[in-house]
Amino acid sequence: MTNYDISVSHLTHRYGDRTALNDVSFTIPRGEIFGLLGPNGGGKTTMFKILSTLIRHSEGTAEVCGFNVRTSPSEVRKHIGVVFQSPSLDQKLTVKENLHFQGILYGLHGQELMRRIDDVLLHLNLSERAHDEVEKLSGGQQRRVEVGKGLLHYPDVLILDEPSTGLDPGARIDLWQYLLELNRSRGITIVVTTHILDEAEHCNRLAILDQGNLVALGTPAELKREIGGDIVSVIANDPENVHRLMKEKFGNNISVVEKTIRMERENAHRFVPQLIEAFPGQIESVSISKPTLEDVFIHRTGHRLWNEEANGESK
């Protein structure tokens, strides 16, 4: 029996002449919290749809709990719980009624279904709201009910597409506390698609996708360690000219991202005085920061994670 709950090998998917995923490979060990991080249009939602058997991929293989998603989708569905980005609750039904009808779809009934509903409500900290109509719940509570729907059949893998969409920061924290506790107490494998950097930090490992390509894979700490030192960000009155002069003086590991000059530098606090002295009157501000996951994304792709956000592309 494999120790991997998910195995993806050379996976490619196309929408017409557009490649949404390009030769992507990774494995997810049992019990891991795994994040698919990237901008809209990066390919993460396409990966979600493939792993949850919503679409058939073009090339390569993908297995969930040992079953091929293309040839054995029914078996895959027995082992996964799915939480979609778009709301799927009936607002006029109570929390318990929503869970009850979901359980029937899974083939559950009678006392066993009631027991599982009570168990899910207890773990979701929603027992006291069981008989409230969903429309009376907060956004965070509704999202927890969505998660509960995906847990009724006790899946081995829970797959969530942008689970924090529409939640305020407090509700997002509460949701992740629940997911982390679910992973700890039940050992369930959790796969999350996200473009939210703080959310990605909760994951044991990340696959960073951009324009359908897997550009980085590793733990958040491992990925940030690949950055050479601190991040120095420079705002200049003529960024393109200052960028050219800085490359001539300090080397090529300098870039311009959205009119901000960026470079990776060890002991940046000692370097900044040299920088300001070298370009008197041309630098408006300088900031130093420790590497973040967005810095990793920029390092690997040359642009910010948010560049594609404005175009509304969602695959």
Give tens-digit pLDDT for 68-94. Answer: 999 999 999 999 999 998 889 999 999
Chain-centre distance for alpha carbon 255: 26
Helix (H) or strand (E) segment spanning residue 249: helix 239-250
- Token pair of 200, please? 């990605």
Q: Measured between alpha carbons, how far is 37 from 69 in angstroms, rounded to an integer?
A: 22
For range 50-74, the mean pLDDT:
96
Percent of the chain surpassing pLDDT 70: 97
Name the residue with higher pLDDT: 219 or 85. 219
What pLDDT score does 273 carry? 93
Give rounded-to-5 percent helix, strand, coil for the chain: 40, 30, 35
| Virtual torsion, Cα 77, 79, 105, 96, nearest 10 deg | -140
Question: Is the model's pLDDT at 224 over the cut of 50?
Answer: yes
Question: Is the model's pLDDT at 109 over the cut of 80?
Answer: yes
Q: Measured between alpha carbons, how far is 47 from 13 in angstroms, rounded to an integer?
A: 9
C-alpha separations of 289 from 8, 48, 64, 263, 265 in Å: 35, 33, 39, 11, 10
Question: Is the model's pLDDT at 311 over the cut of 60?
Answer: no
Q: Does domain 4-223 have CATH number 3.40.50.1100?
A: no
Question: Is the model's pLDDT at 308 over the cut of 50?
Answer: no
Q: Please report which confidence band the pLDDT of residue 307 belongs to, taking 50, 70 and 90 as the band edges.
A: low
DSSP 280: T
Name the residue with higher pLDDT: 313 or 306. 306
What pLDDT score does 2 carry? 60
What pLDDT score does 251 carry? 82
Give tens-digit pLDDT for 113-136. Answer: 999 999 999 888 899 999 999 999
Model confidence, pTM: 0.87
For the chain, give the number of residues.
Answer: 315
Nearest to 213 by CA among 308, 300, 292, 85: 300
Question: Is the model's pLDDT at 195 over the cut of 60?
Answer: yes
What pLDDT score does 29 carry? 97
Secondary structure (3-state) at 186: helix
Give tens-digit pLDDT for 263-301. Answer: 998 889 899 999 999 999 999 999 999 999 999 999 899
For range 146-172, the mean pLDDT:
90
Domain range list for the chain: 4-223, 226-305
Mean pLDDT of all residues belonging to the chain? 91
Beta strands in the chain (DSSP E): 4-15, 18-29, 33-37, 59-64, 67-68, 80-83, 157-161, 189-194, 205-210, 213-218, 230-236, 254-257, 260-265, 283-289
What pLDDT score does 168 carry? 84
For range 44-62, the mean pLDDT:
96
Nearest to 209 by CA among 4, 22, 2: 22
Largest CA distance in the chain: 77
What pLDDT score does 229 carry? 86
| CATH class label, 226-305 | alpha beta
Query: 258-289 burial by CB neighbour count: b if 16+ within 10 A, else e?
Result: eebbbbbbeebeebbeebeeebeebbeebeee
Lowest mean pLDDT among 55-69, 83-97, 245-259: 245-259
Lowest mean pLDDT among 62-66, 111-115, 156-160, 177-181: 177-181
Secondary structure (3-state) at 3: coil
